[in-house]
Structure 1
Amino acid sequence: MALISVVILGTTGYAWGTFRNLNSGLQGNDVINETLTAPDGATDILLIGNDSRTDAQGNPLPDEVLSKLRASDDGGGDLTDTMILVRIPNGGQRASAVSFPRDTRVEMPENYGTHKLNSAYARAKAEAADNLKQQGLTDQQVIEQRATTRGQKFLIKTIERISGVHIDHYAEVNLLGFYRVTKVIGGVKVCLKNPVDDSEYSGAVFPAGPQVIKGADALAFVRQRHGLPRGDLDRIVRQQVFMSALAKKILSRGTLSNPAKLSELVDALKDSIVLDKDWDILSFAQKMQGIAAGNIKFHTIPLERTGGSGKITIDRQEVQRFVDNLLLPPAERKARQQAAAAAEEKRSRTTVNVYNASDVGGLAGRVLDNLTNEGFDRGVSANADSPMSQSVVRYAPGEQAVAKLAASELGGLATEASDTVESGSVEVYLGSAYSGPGTRNFAGDRTVRLDGMQQSKPRPAQQPHPRQQDQGKQPITAGGVPCVN
């Protein structure tokens, strides 16, 4: 939200005159990892909402401020409960914002293991602080600054690993910043399908229907997850509709035509956000002047729920394809989405045959069980005619899309066309290097991959299970105000 505010500051000459000193007043940290040699066709920005009870300089918030925010002083703990990747293709005429659910379990880099995504920042920060103290450093302010930078850099690295993109810029806003900016702009219009009363947790108490919210109410609106049908996933939708409404209001220029509001917004931004130190925010804003409200779209990464909102897994390759496709022109992106939907529709009508080209006994049968559980039609399992080192999914000419679905279920295997494969079927050949679903540990349990990391899991009953996937929905745009849970 703070980033959108800054971007729009470049739309009038008066705004430029007012905000010339903005860069000098913003907190900047050296957090961006080394630059890639080849550009990816976009400016990629990671936006973070931090649940810490400090200001942009790391100072603890006073009790009276926490009371206004309806936040206790023992909550938070540097948990990044809002993580949004903004992709702006070269040219700056449109933008895509992609939310990463806080409870998504991911394999973190640097051997940190598999944890909830929102803990990456805090884990790396805490470890860095401990190391600095062990090295004899006693200045708490220096420890906090260095450890915070380490946490930010590690979170960026984790999101880069998941999304497959290089993060160009970083912006972080805390609870106080969100509160202040929403008050400055006079609130935004939102709409609820049903009344809510979450006074025990977030403090969200709202009637059904359209309403204008700001300050503590706005913070409660985007923080509530208790009592929502899908927990944090519905909270993400709340955040997206709020940001879309904010963008619509600011893009109307009502805020920018008011000198007093502009001055307040400058002050709020300086106390609210932390940027990477090399980001010339005003030059960036000048390039983004062509963005209109309807050209800002909000998405959520493809994910699969295996239970409540706290049990979310992802296929990293699928996420990377999704993020990469956001750079495509809208017409081409729609065509690809339609092709993917058509392939998914063919899943249950595609017969899968699995051949064991490794020396692991019974592997083909277990992999066939897995693919059948994922909705494919059961074919045969057998040994291959000759051993292979690498695995491959072969398909009839013109049927690559459904083959890629099967390949993705097995950890991202290679695919290739073959004239010997019958139309309406795929053939999976499992080489000696295969380590995806269907392999066994010494106890005999099936091992499945969660975002590239093997974990033991009891073998399920051989029957199809419902695929609870949150993807393919229409993105939220800044052109309207939809009613949400």
Structure 2
Amino acid sequence: MPHRQQYVEPETTVLDGPSTPEPTEASRPRRRRWRKIGLISLLVVTLLGGGTAIAGGLYLRSVESDIDRVDAFSGVPEADRPQAVAKGALNIMILGSDSRDPENTTGSRTDTIILAHLPKDRSSAQLISIPRDTWVHVPRSKDGNHGGRDAKINAAFAWGGVPLMVQTVEKFTGVRIDHVMMIDFAGFKEIIDALGGIDVNSEKTFTSIHPPFRTFQQGMQRMDGETALDYSRQRKQFPDGDFARIRHQQQVIKAILDQAVSGGIVTNPARLNSFVKATSSAVSVDEGMSLLGMATDLRGLRGNNLVFLTTPTKGTGRVGSESVVFADAEGTRSFYEAVRHDTVQEIIKGGK
């Protein structure tokens, strides 16, 4: 039986699936190096809001000019892009990899594809995962050498970089992408250690497949950066494979946010400085994103109103020799219509 995913499962979201075959070296576009933890850097620094808004603003101003920028929308035909429907809402495409994953022998994969939807009132955020093996139509690349056919969605990055990923995700979802951010899950180690560790609830007892072969006990446990990074990589010990690894990544993201708010980082100058050093210099965003403006927008966001969702799927299967994830066409259409109209929260509240 194929594995089926419900599309409103805040605690069991899917972030990726089996890997996509890589293009030849000659066909790979030149890419800038993946930066560490763009999502975590942005969200956690914005969580310094409230009484520390001035200090947070000073930190953001000090790093804004040094942030690595990516030309995310170059060559994306405006005539082909979906139009924004809900004025004031924002949609951020987050692309991630794990460059130090022992199983990752190449740096060109996009292991994680997330559409972060920020409602107009900024009272919450929905992080919507698109499995990387989702079978979609990939538009033709700018050089004309790739795309123009159906493929796994993460092939778009290998064939045409960020701009082709923007085109592909927009075509698949019908949602206009306002900003782009890059992350590297390997950067979790430095972030978590700067926070003094995080608390993660393991769904069962299992042993890591990577040295030093840690055993994770079922239940809540304290993890330092190296341990949490190891935990976020595990999948082969679970019947749903990569779907489990994605759940682990989500747990770690939420735990980082919760720890940043409750762990006293703001009142401890040394830890705050360590955190800023571990994150702010590693942020990579599109040329139009302002971290100071985003921090102001998201100053009320907390871990308990950050919701993880998954694109509706029909499960896994094969196309030729490739293992793929099939989208639920009708479910996907109606779900992303809710994103476009900024009504996702109504779906969540209704439990549909």
| Partner residue of 2:126 out of 96, 116, 120 | 96
- Give distance in 1, aligned partners of 2:231 and 2:344: 33
1:188 aligns with 2:198: yes
1:238-317 superposed matches below 5 A: 238-252=248-262, 254-307=264-317, 310-317=323-330
Q: Normalising by structure 2, report the TM-score.
A: 0.74
What does residue 108 of structure 1 align with?
138
Label 1:50 to 1:319 Cα distance change in 2 as closer, same or farther (>3 A).
same
More relative contact order, 1 or 2 (CA 8 Å, 6+ apart): 2
The answer to whether the 8 A contact 2:102-2:210 is kept is no
* SS, match of residue 20 in structure 1: helix
Q: Which amino acid aligns with 2:325?
A: I
Comparing 233-242 with 29-38, greater Cα deviation is found at 29-38
Give 1:187 shift: 2.2
Q: Cα deviations across residues 9-46 of structure 1 (Å, max 9, x unaligned)?
A: 44413222333212112111121355876453411011
CA distance in 2, matches of 1:251, 1:156: 32
Distance 1:332 1:240, change over 3 A: closer
What is the aligned partner in structure 2 of residue 356 from structure 1?
none
Given the superposition, is the C-alpha separation of residues 108 and 246 from structure 1 closer, same or farther in structure 2, using an over 3 Å criterion?
A: same
**Partner Cα distance (1:45, 1:6) in 2:** 17
Amino acid across the alignment from 1:40: A
Q: 2:90 aligns with which of 43, 53, 57?
A: 43
2:275 is aligned with what amino acid?
L
Quote the offset at 1:271 in angstroms. Answer: 4.0
| Selected match of 1:28 from 56, 63, 69 | 69
Return the letter of the residue paired with 1:123: W
Alignment match, 1:215 = 225
1:117 aligned partner: 153
Where in structure 1 are there 5+ consecutive unaligned residues? 53-68, 125-150, 339-485
Q: Report the CA distance between 1:86 and its aligned residue.
A: 0.7
Q: Could you tell me the TM-score, scaled by structure 1's length?
A: 0.55
For residues 157-209 of structure 1, give each alpha carbon's deviation from its aligned partner in whole angstroms, at most 9, with x where no partner exists. Answer: 21112221111111111244232212211222111132222324896642222
Tell me: CA distance 1:2–1:28, structure 2 relative to 1, closer, same or farther (3 Å).
Answer: same
- How far apart are residue 215 of structure 1 and its match? 2.0
Taking a change above 3 Å as real, the CA distance of residues 331 and 84 of structure 1, as seen in their structure-2 partners, is closer
Write the letter of the residue equivalent to 2:96.
G
Checking the alignment, whether the CA contact within 8 Å between 1:198 and 1:224 is kept in structure 2 is yes
Note if contact 2:96-2:183 (Cα within 8 Å) is conserved in structure 1: yes
Could you tell which deviates more after superposition, 230-239 or 195-204?
195-204
Output the CA distance in 1 between the equivalents of 2:245 and 2:283. Answer: 22
Query: Does the Cα contact within 8 Å between 1:19 and 1:266 map onto a contact in 2?
Result: no
Partner of 2:16: none
Output the CA distance in 2 between the equivalents of 1:253 and 1:211.
Answer: 16
Which AA in structure 1 matches 2:254?
A: S
Partner of 1:19: 60
- Cross-structure match for 1:65: none
Evaluate the alpha carbon distance shift between residue 160 and residue 203 of structure 1 in structure 2; reply closer, same or farther with a 3 A threshold. farther
